[in-house]
């Protein structure tokens, strides 16, 4: 098996690089399309997202789990791949037909809607679950970065005025297709199609359960944007969209380390429960260690960050980002307990009632708060509902499968973050431009947080230091051995 430590650190470095390019694209597009244009694209992409979620039909997550469980049994891997690939073609055809029919019946069959529907069409080629299940994170990183670089070049070349809104939406949709095409071309290295012993029926029940949970989860996130788009202005939706994107990038960075353990959790739950609990404990420690300071940093640096990234017209997004900041911590814990643990233990059906209730709750809160507070009300509604969903799901999972929550790591992270906040506030007071505030604030905050955690004996941080020390010593021994030959 591949090293989890190596995969985790590589995935963190990859997401850091991978997030930088979308930030460049978003910053450029924000200044060209402005908040109103960004809001129009966000609303059209959100509408297409309902059908994209149906096209995927949870095969992405189910495929990762089943490929990981199949391990090195190539006959089973080939059979799984063929069955899931054909099922994906069927669901994508249904979703694409439904999307076109919806646009025709609703009178929304325009160029922007068609451009935003490209991700639905290219889902025919989506086999990323194969590479995730095989833990091919180096390949995925290289592929995704290449696609993002091509997207950046296309945006800079083709998007110059607010009238280029369709071109931007088309580039954003086609980017996924480029990665999927390369996945198909490289798939022969890992798998091959087979027509022997296919059994589609064995996937029916688990896929229906997973799809019901995933579709309810998608509806929870997308109905929120739909209501905001209906009850508010495109400018408000644009500001909200970019604030949510900034929070999502921070969340992706914080969950890069826990995310790589998902395939291994699926294997350990059936093969070694002790290793399963140990890995789950490490993932929770990583989530707590990274997200608490990240949440505080978002709150402190939101005004400087939003102006630097997206321009003065997006200054209202700063308050939205501050209200969404707790989601970084909430959703990181949720990704471990309410996603990875649920899927690994075969309890994915629990997501269905939880997120259906969440849809009702967020719809009610949105209609209550958005008319009075616009995008700020939407941010409060999402944060409150996510907290309720994560808390309820985590408690139910604990009663079914008690897990070791890292209380000591939580207390250490909170105390270290308090010291970090004092340092960052001082830095923000001394620095006078958004650029200097962001650079000095992030660098200084990370340095102070790391030093304080080393001083108080953070188990996770010292574990990482030990791993680096062991690898450095091993590398030094190899160098000495080669020179002595």
Q: How far out from the chain centre does Cα 393 lie?
A: 19
Give a yes or no: residue 197 inside a domain: no
Rounded Cα gap, residues 249 and 27, in angstroms: 14
Rounded Cα distance between 143 and 137, Å, is 10
SS3 of the chain: CCCHHHHHHHHHHHHHHHHHHHHHHHHHHHHHHHHHHHHHHHHHHHHHHHHHHHHHCCHHHHHHHHHHHHCCCHHHHHHHHHHHHHHHHHHHHHHHHHHHHHHHHHCCCCHHHHHHCHHHHHHHHCCHHHHHHCCCHHHHHHHHHHHHHHHHHHHHHHCCCHHHHHHHHHHHHHHHHHHHHHHHHHHHHCCCCCCCCCCHHHHHHHHHHHHHHHHHHHHHHHHHHHHHHHHCCHHHHHHHHHHHHHHHHHHHHHCHHHHCCHHHHHHHHHHCHHHHHHHHHHHHHHHHHHHHHHHHHHHHHHHHHHHHHHCHHHCCHHHHHHHHCHHHHHHHHHHHHHHHHHHHCCCHHHHHHHHHHHHHHHHHHHHHHHHHHHHHHHHHHHHHHHHHHHHHHHHHHHHHCCCCCCHHHHHHHHHHHHHHHHHHHHHHHHCCCHHHHHHHHHHHHHHHHHHHHHHCCCHHHHHHHHHHHHHHHHHHHHHHHHHHC
Flag whether 242 is in a domain: yes
**How many angstroms separate the CA atoms of 441 and 429, rounded?**
10
Do 185 and 243 lie in one domain? The reply is yes
Q: Which two tokens stand for residue 372?
A: 């009075």
How confident is the model at residue 467, as a pLDDT? 73
For residue 136, what pLDDT is reported? 84
Chain segment 317-376, per-residue pLDDT in tens: 999 999 999 999 999 988 888 888 887 887 777 788 888 899 999 999 999 999 999 999
- Position 224 scores a pLDDT of 87
313 inside domain: yes
- State percent of the chain over pLDDT 70: 96
| Residue 268 sits in the same domain as residue 417 | no
Task: Flag whether 196 is in a domain.
Answer: no
Whether 174 and 278 share a structural domain: yes
381-419 burial code (b ≥16 CB/10 A, e <16): bbbebbbbbbebbbebbeeebebebbeebeebbeebbeb
344 and 439 share one domain: no
Q: What is the pLDDT of residue 328?
A: 94
Q: Of 379, 405, 431, which closes a domain? A: 405
Domain count for the chain, please give it. 2
Residue 84 lies inside a defined structural domain of this protein: yes
Residue 480's domain spans which residues? 408-485
Of 93, 100, 99, residue with least CA distance to 49: 99
Mark whether 395 and 466 lie in a shared domain. Answer: no
Shared domain for 153 and 300, answered yes or no, is yes
Picking from 335, 327, 305, 331, the residue whose alpha carbon sits closest to that of residue 381 is 327
Q: In whole angstroms, what is the distance from residue 294 CA to residue 257 CA?
A: 14
Q: Is 80 a domain residue?
A: yes
Q: Among 405, 438, 453, identify where a domain stops.
A: 405
In angstroms, the CA 214 to CA 133 distance is 18
Q: Are residues 343 and 357 in the same domain?
A: yes
Residues 303 and 425 in one domain: no
For residues 413 and 389, membership in a common domain is answered with: no
Last residue of a domain, one of 389, 405, 421: 405
Which residues are CB-neighbours of 273 under 8 A, at least 6 positions away?
A: none
d(CA 6, CA 468): 10
Distance CA(382)–CA(361), nearest Å, equals 9
* Both structure tokens of 479: 């160098």
Give the rounded distance of the alpha carbon of 450 from its chain centre. Answer: 25
Residue whose pair of structure tokens reads 């149906």 in the numeric block: 54
Mark whether 388 and 469 lie in a shared domain: no
Reported as a single tens digit per residue, the pLDDT across 453-473 is: 989 988 888 877 787 777 777
Q: In the prediction, which pLDDT does 96 show?
A: 96
For the chain, the farthest-separated pair of C-alpha atoms sits apart, in whole angstroms, at 76
- Report pTM: 0.82
Identify whether residues 213 and 133 lie together within a single domain: yes
What integer pLDDT is reported at residue 165 of this predicted model? 94
Summarised one tens digit per residue, pLDDT across range 253-276 is: 888 777 777 777 877 888 888 888
Regarding whether 164 and 44 lie in a shared domain, the answer is: yes
User: What residues of the chain score a pLDDT lower than 50?
Assistant: none
- Is residue 413 domain-resident? yes
């Amino acid at each position: 098996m591949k090293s989890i430590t190596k995969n985790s650190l590589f995935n963190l470095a990859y997401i850091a690089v991978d997030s930088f390019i979308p930030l460049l694209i978003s910053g450029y597009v924000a200044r060209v399309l402005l908040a109103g244009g960004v809001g129009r694209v966000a609303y059209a992409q959100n509408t297409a997202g309902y059908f994209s979620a149906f096209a995927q039909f949870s095969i992405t997550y189910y495929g990762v789990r089943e490929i990981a469980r199949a391990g090195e049994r190539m006959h089973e891997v080939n059979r799984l791949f063929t069955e899931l690939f054909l099922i994906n073609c069927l669901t994508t055809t249904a979703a694409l037909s439904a999307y076109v029919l919806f646009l025709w019946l609703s009178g929304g069959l325009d160029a922007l809607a068609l451009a935003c529907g490209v991700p639905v069409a290219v889902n025919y080629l989506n086999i990323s679950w194969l590479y995730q299940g095989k833990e091919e994170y180096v390949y995925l990183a290289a592929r995704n970065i290449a696609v993002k670089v091509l997207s950046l070049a296309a945006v800079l070349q083709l998007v110059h005025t607010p009238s280029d809104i369709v071109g931007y939406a088309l580039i954003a949709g086609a980017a996924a297709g480029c990665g999927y095409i390369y996945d198909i071309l490289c798939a022969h290295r890992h798998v091959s199609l087979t027509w022997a012993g296919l059994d589609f029926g064995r996937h029916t029940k688990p896929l229906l359960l997973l799809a019901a949970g995933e579709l309810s989860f998608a509806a929870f996130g997308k109905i929120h944007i739909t209501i905001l788009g209906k009850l508010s202005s495109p400018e408000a939706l644009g500001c909200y969209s970019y604030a949510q994107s900034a929070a999502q990038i921070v969340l992706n960075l914080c969950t890069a380390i826990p995310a790589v353990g998902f395939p291994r959790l699926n294997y350990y739950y059936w093969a070694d429960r002790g290793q399963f609990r140990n890995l789950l404990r490490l993932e929770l420690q990583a989530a707590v260690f990274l997200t608490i300071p990240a949440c505080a940093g978002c709150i402190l640096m939101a005004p400087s960050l939003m102006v630097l990234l997206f321009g003065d017209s997006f200054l209202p997004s700063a308050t939205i980002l501050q209200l969404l900041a707790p989601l970084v911590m909430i959703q990181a814990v949720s990704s471990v307990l309410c996603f990875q643990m649920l899927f690994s233990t075969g309890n994915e059906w629990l997501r269905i009632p939880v997120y259906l209730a969440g849809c009702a709750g967020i719809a009610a809160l949105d209609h209550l708060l958005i008319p009075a507070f616009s995008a700020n009300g939407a941010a409060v509604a999402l944060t409150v509902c996510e907290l309720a969903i994560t808390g309820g799901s985590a408690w139910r999972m604990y009663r079914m499968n008690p897990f070791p929550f890292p209380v000591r790591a939580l207390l250490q992270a909170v105390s270290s973050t308090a010291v970090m906040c004092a340092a960052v506030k001082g830095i923000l007071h001394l620095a006078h431009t958004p650029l200097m505030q962001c650079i000095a604030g992030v660098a200084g905050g990370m340095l102070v947080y790391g030093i304080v955690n080393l001083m108080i004996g953070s188990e996770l941080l010292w574990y990482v230091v030990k791993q680096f020390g062991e690898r450095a010593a091993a590398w030094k021994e190899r160098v000495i051995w080669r020179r002595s030959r």
